[in-house]
Every structure is written in structure tokens, then in C-alpha cells.
Amino acid sequence: MINKILPFLILSIISGPVTAQDIQFPPLQGFRLTTDYPVYGPDNLWDFINGAADTYLSYDFVDLHVAEYKKGRDVIKLEIYRHTDHTMAFGIYSSERSPSFDFMNLGAQGYNADGAINFFKGKFYVKIRTYSGKAKTLQAEQALAVKVADMLEGESTMPEILSVFPSEGRMQNEETYINESVLGHAFLSKAYKALYQVGPDNFAIYVIQNASAGELRKTISTYASSAGIDPIESDEGKYILTDGYNGTIFLAGKGDKIVIISGLARDQAGLADKYTSEILR
């Protein structure tokens, strides 16, 4: 019995932990499926996407599975990136999304842009690409996208916290999730961001969820210390401080949320308070 178990244990150690769901590439009628690529992990992702790997790793990248579908000279490449959870998949997806793209009801959200179809669902970020301009190949690409979306497990919804952002002035499909270095500061992380345009004013709102009262105080203290100033506290525990890189910052917290607003002048505290109060209500 020991002789039978030992090789299995050694193989498990070498190959790493078994993933929750093995990737099975669906067939595509009329196309030949090839899977000559290795499974990429955090240690060798650079071999596939080179300089872009750091961004993917910052969103807790787990592995990448790649396949190609070939029909004559036409090739459709499929890339399935797995991250640790739904939030991280949204984060990397939203970092590469543009509001000008042609959005599709695919997974949680997807888009079509110049022969590329990208979407995310659950913990997966999927990228499909063809350089063929043939109508039938483009139709096959869309059919493949639907098959992959149906195959993958996980949530087919946008992150629930996005609903706390006020709708007035919010720019559509500009929401993102920033896992590290929010506003360029190492001490700020794990923030959802939305962009706003209200009249002539453009500003950004960041929401950090699951924060404790102690984390709020620490964030305020660290932020003020980095700016070399004392924060000015307004009513109801809301703060105004000056960031040498980002200008005036409005900061507040309540319950499990921290709200940061940048892009408004100090004399626009009323506008900042309006949005902060709605989020923290």
C-alpha cells in the first residue's frame, strides 16, 4: 500500500495543488482544436504576455490555459485566465476595458473590439482573438465565446458593491477595481473606483469595503502623515487633506466602508459631501 501511495504523493508535490475546475476546451464546428501551449502559472506568465504579466499578477493570477482553433489560414486564439475570485477577475477585466467598446451580454460582462472578444465570469477572465475579417470566422468566434461562457462556473453578475455608487453623473463602464497602490500610495489598496462628470467637474470616487473603524483611523493617519500635514476634520467624521500628487482629497468612513474622492477643489466640499453621504447612508 505504501509503495502505491508514495508515487502519488510525489506527483502531487511536483504538480502542485489540484485546481477546483479543470479547463475543458469546447469543440468548434469546422475548426481544428490545438492545445500546444503549456499551462502558465505565476512563475512563467512572462513567457506568454511579457511585460503585462505584472499587472495580472497584481490581481492574484492563478493560471492561464491557451488553445487555438484553426480552419485553413484562419486562427481563433482562446485564453482563459484564472484568478483567485470574482473581484480579482473583474479587476483585471476592468483594467483593460474601454467605454468605447461594443459591450455584450456575455458572462458577467463582455465586449467586442476589432476582432477581440473579452469577458469575465466568476474567477475567470477570457480573451478570444482572431485576425480574420471573414464574416463566418467572426461568427464562429462569437459562438466560441458563448460556449466558453456557458462552460465556466461562477457568478454572471457585476460586483454587488458597484450598486453603492450614486448614479447621478456616473460615467458608464468606467468602474474599476484597484487591488494595489490606490492613487499611487502603497498604504491604500482594495478599492473600487468610479468616474463622474457633473457639469464642468470631473472627479473620481473610491470605495474600500470591509474596513474596520481602526483601519479608517489608520488610513487617515497614514495619509496625513505621508502628506506632512494634519487632516482637517469636518462634520460627521469627514476629512479634507492635501495630497502632493493628487491635490485635495475628501475622505470619510462609516460601518465597513471608506470613501475617498479626488479631483474636486477644497471649496467643492458640498459636492463631495453629497456623494459621500449617499454612499455611506
Q: How many domains does the chain have?
A: 2
In a domain, 221, yes or no: yes
Same domain, 246 and 274: yes
Same domain, 257 and 197: yes
Same domain, 118 and 189: no
Burial class (CB in 10 A: 0-12, 13-18, 19+), 188: buried
In a domain, 83, yes or no: yes
For residues 14 and 76, give the distance between their C-alpha atoms in angstroms, rounded to a whole number: 32
**Residue of 185, 232, 186, 177 whose CA lies nearest to 206:** 177
In a domain, 243, yes or no: yes
Per-residue tens of pLDDT for the chain, all 281 residues: 444 444 433 333 333 333 445 888 999 999 999 999 999 999 999 999 988 999 999 999 999 999 999 999 999 999 999 999 999 999 999 999 999 999 999 999 999 998 899 999 999 999 999 999 999 999 999 999 999 999 999 999 999 999 999 999 999 999 999 999 999 999 999 999 999 999 999 999 999 987 777 887 788 788 878 877 666 555 566 888 888 889 999 998 888 899 999 999 999 999 999 999 999 98
Same domain, 168 and 131: no
Can you give the CATH number for the domain in which 120 is found?
A: 3.40.1000
In a domain, 240, yes or no: yes
In a domain, 11, yes or no: no
Which of 125, 151, 177 is the last residue in one of the domains? 151
Q: What is the span of the domain harbouring residue 64?
A: 21-151
For residues 243 and 250, give the distance between their C-alpha atoms in angstroms, rounded to a whole number: 10
Which of 101, 131, 151 is the last residue in one of the domains? 151
Same domain, 140 and 189: no
Q: What is the pTM of this model?
A: 0.88
Which of 96, 118, 151 is the last residue in one of the domains? 151
In a domain, 7, yes or no: no
Q: First CA to last CA across the chain, in angstroms?
A: 62
